[in-house]
Structure 1
Amino acid sequence: MAFRLRPDRPFTAEFRSVAENQLKKAIGFLENQPDGPHEAIHDARKKFKRVRALYRLIEPDAKDFRRAENARLRDMAKTLSAVRDATALIETVDYLTTEAGSEEEQAALASASNALTKRRDRIAAEEHDLPAKMAAAADTCRAAIAALDGLELDDHHRRTAKRLGKVWEKQRRKAIAALSQCHDNTHAEAFHDLRKCGQVYWMHLSLLRDAWPSAMAAKQRETKLLVDRLGHEHDLSVLTEIINESPDIFGSSETLALVIGAIITRQQALRHEALDLAEKVFADSAERESDVIALLWLEASRLSGKVHAEKPSDKHIQGQEIALRGVS
């Protein structure tokens, strides 16, 4: 089953089905580990993020459920982070190597990659309880699936459309606030917040794409570019923290200076690119775009024969195209 909510189905049942599907996929990764335990953890954590984004969509009508289940998945994911996060640092240095400006910088980054690989291997060797953690995480996923049975929502299409519009507006306002913070300061946390907003936005576009496939796909492409840039930016911020905490593992001061220089150069470029992309992705007002989302969901439901309301005119919808640009 794709990661999407179909407007022609009862919302609660569809919501449960999507969440259960993602959680079962996570269990499959954790238990079968087709590409090894660390890649399995990486894949499972991506499913957890998707489910947590899905849960945001029902917060207005299920605050307690969303709070409890979000915490369940968040806390469980943290128990699996050590080795995967250490591996991500190696990938970050390898990414920097593709952007290296000189042979000296390439050599310094190769040395840093080697040092971080040894660090990752030490962490992995010390994590003797990883199999138990993965088994516990799979059990937590099963508990999360069971909890879905207790979820009850108003499936009336107008109530659903209103709920989705409300959540959409809240998330868009958070994104606009995060973007403003990025313009006001250069703190890594501001860009991390913008990245999280971008990730949620991308996942919500995926979930609701059946309401207007062409427009949603266009917005997803733009948002994916933004999230990728901010993902690399965040990885560089984490790498900087490791360097500040443990500079000795990187060898000579000359090597360290070259690595830091490469980080600063690439991070500045990524931030500039990300801000330009974010201005485009989040150009429209939160209120206007949320109104469009609610209208689109209701219209998609009507076309499925589930709602017998008067069809909004094509002129009405076309007048809102700016909120979901990319439609021909």
Structure 2
Amino acid sequence: MMSFQFTQRSGIEKQVRSIARGQISRALEASYEPRGNLDDLVHQLRRRCKKLRGLVRLIEPRFKNAKRENRAFRDAAAGLAGRRDAAVMVETFSQILEIDLNRKGRPQISATQAKDILHSLQQAVGGPPDAVEATLLLRSFIEIFEAAKSRAGTWEISGKGFDQIGDGLEATYRRMQTGLAVVERDASAEAIHAWRKDTKYHWHHVSLFVAAAPDTLTARRHNLDRLGEWLGDHHNLAVLDATLADYPDIEAVRRVIAERQATLAADAIGLGRQLLAEKPNMLRERFERYWTLLPKKD
């Protein structure tokens, strides 16, 4: 089974099927006999879902069942979200505390309040699940992925040649440009979260193309990953802010959150402008030229 990248410039439909089935199979293998830390496994499985949704987005304009498959992978990830999302809130608040402690001058968040909030967030995560809880958590995921694996072998992509993936590549990049324009006007949490989604999709698309031009695209993928992390951190802070909304005397925490979000938004806009300077049709043409650098067959 193929890794998450194209390796030849022919047989696009066959490669897409193989990439999809490879991601699904690896997720199922890890789920049938879960080992180690369940939270780490959940994180890995959700990453598989995101890769598969990125693959579907690449072929969406040429794939009539794109909505069905995207919904399946989205639902599979959503079924695992609870434990991971609670753990992310602990991580995010810990980062805010570190930023506040390292600022010039006196920290805004008191040590007592920090301890109380951190304890409360950790309580939401709960203890390690037992074998029964782990099985129940993974059951729905396995069912969805087993069905998706059967369908992935029959995915059909209309058209021929690079157009089968070029349309989706260009459309996603265009949406990412639109998202940046919206954020430049109003860097709201909602706008940044929407921009992040297309940024991640484009990151996955670049990952699929890396073998065609590794020296050029590895750098782009790295910068897209960095941009996605900043946007993800901004979103996590927005969720943390909402989570803490009912806590008493929370103004200092919210100020630190807002300051950090402002910094992340400014950094993201600056990097985004560089990554999105190219017109969509020009990016498509460039990637098509990269595509010709792949061997005709493995």
CA distance in 1, matches of 2:29, 2:141: 11
The aligned residue for residue 313 of structure 1 is none
Gaps of 5+ in 1: 307-328
CA distance in 1, matches of 2:153, 2:166: 25
CA distance in 2, matches of 1:112, 1:30: 33
Whether the 8 Å CA contact 2:180–2:272 is kept in 1: the answer is yes
User: CA offset at residue 189 of structure 1?
Assistant: 0.9
User: CA offset at residue 305 of structure 1?
Assistant: 4.4
Secondary structure in 2 matching 1:33: coil
| Change beyond 3 A, Cα 1:276–1:220 | same
| Change beyond 3 A, Cα 1:165–1:153 | closer
Q: Superposed, which structure 2 residues align to 1:74-153 within 5 Å?
A: 74-100=74-100, 101=103, 102-103=106-107, 105=109, 107=111, 108-121=113-126, 131-153=135-157
Whether the 8 Å CA contact 2:187–2:265 is kept in 1: the answer is no
The aligned residue for residue 61 of structure 2 is 60
Which of 279, 284, 290 is the equivalent residue of 2:284? Answer: 290
| Change beyond 3 A, Cα 1:31–1:262 | farther
The aligned residue for residue 322 of structure 1 is none
The aligned residue for residue 231 of structure 2 is 230
Whether the 8 Å CA contact 2:12–2:164 is kept in 1: the answer is no
User: CA offset at residue 40 of structure 1?
Assistant: 1.3
User: CA offset at residue 38 of structure 1?
Assistant: 2.3
Gaps of 5+ in 2: none
Alpha-carbon RMSD: 2.1
1:204 is the counterpart of 2:205: yes
Name the TM-score, length of structure 2 as normaliser: 0.89
| Change beyond 3 A, Cα 1:152–1:119 | closer
Amino acid at match of 1:288: M
The answer to which structure, 1 or 2, has the higher relative contact order (CA under 8 A, 6+ apart) is: 2
| Change beyond 3 A, Cα 1:29–1:109 | farther
Name the TM-score, length of structure 1 as normaliser: 0.82
User: CA offset at residue 140 of structure 1?
Assistant: 1.4
User: CA offset at residue 109 of structure 1?
Assistant: 3.3
The aligned residue for residue 265 of structure 2 is 271
User: CA offset at residue 268 of structure 1?
Assistant: 0.8
CA distance in 2, matches of 1:153, 1:165: 12
Amino acid at match of 2:146: R
Alignment identity in percent? 24
User: CA offset at residue 32 of structure 1?
Assistant: 3.1
Q: Report the number of matched residues.
A: 289
Bigger Rg, which one: 1
The aligned residue for residue 258 of structure 1 is 252
The aligned residue for residue 6 of structure 1 is 7
The aligned residue for residue 180 of structure 1 is 181
The CA deviation string for residues 120-177 of structure 1, in whole angstroms up to 9 with x for no partner, is 229x88xx865323122112111111001222336x8xx2312322212111110111
CA distance in 2, matches of 1:15, 1:165: 13
Secondary structure in 2 matching 1:60: helix
